[in-house]
Structure 1
Amino acid sequence: MALQIAANLTTMFPERGPLFNRYAAAKAAGFKAVEVSLPYSETTQRLAAELARMGLNRFLLIQIQVTSRGEMGCACIPGKEATFKDSLDKSISYAKALDVPMIHIMVGKFDKNHTEEEHARTLEKNLRYAANLLNQEGIVGLIEPKNSITFPGYFLSDFDTAVGLIFKIDSPNLRLLLDIFHLQFISGNITRNIERLMPYTAHVQVSQPPNRSEPLSPGELDFSYIFQKLKAEGYKGFIGAEYVPSTKKTEESLEWIKICGLTF
């Protein structure tokens, strides 16, 4: 069975403007599933109504709510535990209303007022809390290492740390978001790292390094091979197309889906 692609509406269809225009464009292009980083500017009622009206029957992923522009979460920041819990509660309410199975828990940037050890302890404590709460709600929390070149200061910047946290907390409701763009920047050795990380992975996202463009645009990686490798390793979930199109119209960037033997 072919791997299925979900449109990331935070990065795709930027030429269409507001979120609901992007929903319509994704539906017209053939997508059956979408993911959106931050849907919180719209009510759950309106989001649910638009999804139903357009027939987009799967809303796969949202990010945890952030409290200010440019923030990347606060799960690792000492002293912000209450803010983290409030953001998680808001995200869970959206996920339940929209039948979203996964929440990406952004961990935040390093705060120079605290030590690395303090950040690490705070992050583990908050992720334990989140895993327990998400278990009660039937939702999976995802953590994603982000590379320090395009996301300077992000605290979770390597895969070994992420896997260590998942292993230590040992909950089916805390898993890895494997973004191939970040994997290439952080670790390289894509083949062996897919093999190593797949047992911890609940969701995969793709874009072509170094410009975060569509998979078959000029860049560093052979995505035809990568998709074959993901399938060979037993990955059966959707693949989030979290890329910025290199073309004026997003529809002109979608040929890679057919060429690589994938489906909507």
Structure 2
Amino acid sequence: MVLKFCPNLNFLFTEGGVGLAERYLLAHRAGFRGVEGPCPSAATVDSVLKAKSETGLEQVLLNLYTEGATGAEQVCAAHPTGIEQFRKNFEYTVKVAKSLKCRKIHVMAGIHFGDDRQKQTEVYLSNLKYAAKLLEAESIVGVIEPINKYAVPGYFLNSFTEAVRLLDAVNSPNLKLMIDVYHLQHIQGNVTNTLHDLKHYIGHFQIAQVPNRHEPNVRGELDYRHIFQEIENVGYSDWVGCEYKPKSDTVSGLGWIKEYGYSL
């Protein structure tokens, strides 16, 4: 059993409204050796660095830092009018990743705006090419993730076919595909064959049960005992992010790890 599991700190250890640094401590206390999740702001990054140092946790992946838009908008890679802000946000994320010794960044696409999808695709592709050059210079891997319309209505990248097309267009060894099996099942299903078809593109995995995004061993559409074996069968032996909503609380829901023959 070669897979390693890390909690996504946007989803796990959030009980009681604790801050990001406190979630590092809780993850360590539960036995995890790595974490993934949001990029800390300038106001919180020092406390996160301190928590990481105290726990020895590996920072597996950071989401793109988002800032610079009003309301619910976030300036991500496909924002049609936010190219300058995206690049500023991405450069900040890379800086934080280096300080945390993080090897992966999720270059989030963001929401579709307006009617001109072709124009927004051109902006997205341009930003991905820009990001890839910086990722190559810093020896960091960027990942892009298709997200299903039920979880995030209007998310710009909602197709694995389109994700592969963009990766081929950028053609960088430092830009890869993140497969969240929860989103894969919602978008197109056919999980086993898709993992094998896309194995050369994969840079990271995340998991949750479908349809309610709980722990992988709760009742649902997916057989994770089979899926974990298939993830290993395609040659993946790195971290798998636990991006699910605990059915009750984080710690009491961790029994699936031992149930499926893994350990922390």
The aligned residue for residue 145 of structure 1 is 146
Query: Secondary structure of the residue that 1:40 maps to in structure 2?
Result: coil
Query: Secondary structure of the residue that 1:204 maps to in structure 2?
Result: strand
Q: Is the 8 A contact 1:65 1:91 kept in 2?
A: yes
Q: Is the 8 A contact 1:72 1:107 kept in 2?
A: no
Offset, 1:199: 1.1
CA distance in structure 2 between the partners assigned to 1:196 and 1:37 by the alignment: 29
Aligned length: 261
Offset, 1:77: 2.5
Query: Secondary structure of the residue that 1:218 maps to in structure 2?
Result: coil
1:231 corresponds to 2:232 = yes
Query: Secondary structure of the residue that 1:150 maps to in structure 2?
Result: coil
Q: Is the 8 A contact 1:73 1:106 kept in 2?
A: no
1:179 corresponds to 2:189 = no
Deviations 1:211-230 (A, max 9, x none): 11110011110001100111
Q: Is the 8 A contact 2:39 2:93 kept in 1?
A: no
CA distance in structure 2 between the partners assigned to 1:130 and 1:242 by the alignment: 24
Query: Secondary structure of the residue that 2:143 maps to in structure 1?
Result: strand
Of 54, 77, 80, which residue of structure 2 is paired with 1:78?
80
1:63 corresponds to 2:63 = yes
CA distance in structure 1 between the partners assigned to 2:124 and 2:140 by the alignment: 19
TM-score (norm 1): 0.94
Q: Is the 8 A contact 1:73 1:105 kept in 2?
A: no
Aligned ranges 1:27-176 → 2 under 5 Å: 27-40=28-41, 42-56=43-57, 58-67=58-67, 68=69, 70-112=72-114, 114-176=115-177
Structure 1 segments unaligned to the other structure (5+ residues) = none
CA distance in structure 2 between the partners assigned to 1:93 and 1:149 by the alignment: 33
CA distance in structure 2 between the partners assigned to 1:14 and 1:140 by the alignment: 27
CA distance in structure 1 between the partners assigned to 2:37 and 2:7 by the alignment: 9
The aligned residue for residue 250 of structure 2 is 250
Query: Secondary structure of the residue that 2:135 maps to in structure 1?
Result: helix
Change (3 A) 1:28 1:140: same
Q: Which amino acid aligns with 2:257?
A: I
Change (3 A) 1:36 1:45: same
CA distance in structure 2 between the partners assigned to 1:95 and 1:50 by the alignment: 15
Give the alignment's Cα RMSD to 1 decimal.
1.5
Offset, 1:40: 1.9
Percent of aligned positions that are identical: 38
Offset, 1:73: 3.9
Change (3 A) 1:42 1:50: farther
Q: Which amino acid aligns with 2:81?
A: G
CA distance in structure 2 between the partners assigned to 1:72 and 1:151 by the alignment: 13
Q: Is the 8 A contact 1:44 1:98 kept in 2?
A: no
Structure 2 segments unaligned to the other structure (5+ residues) = none
Offset, 1:250: 1.1
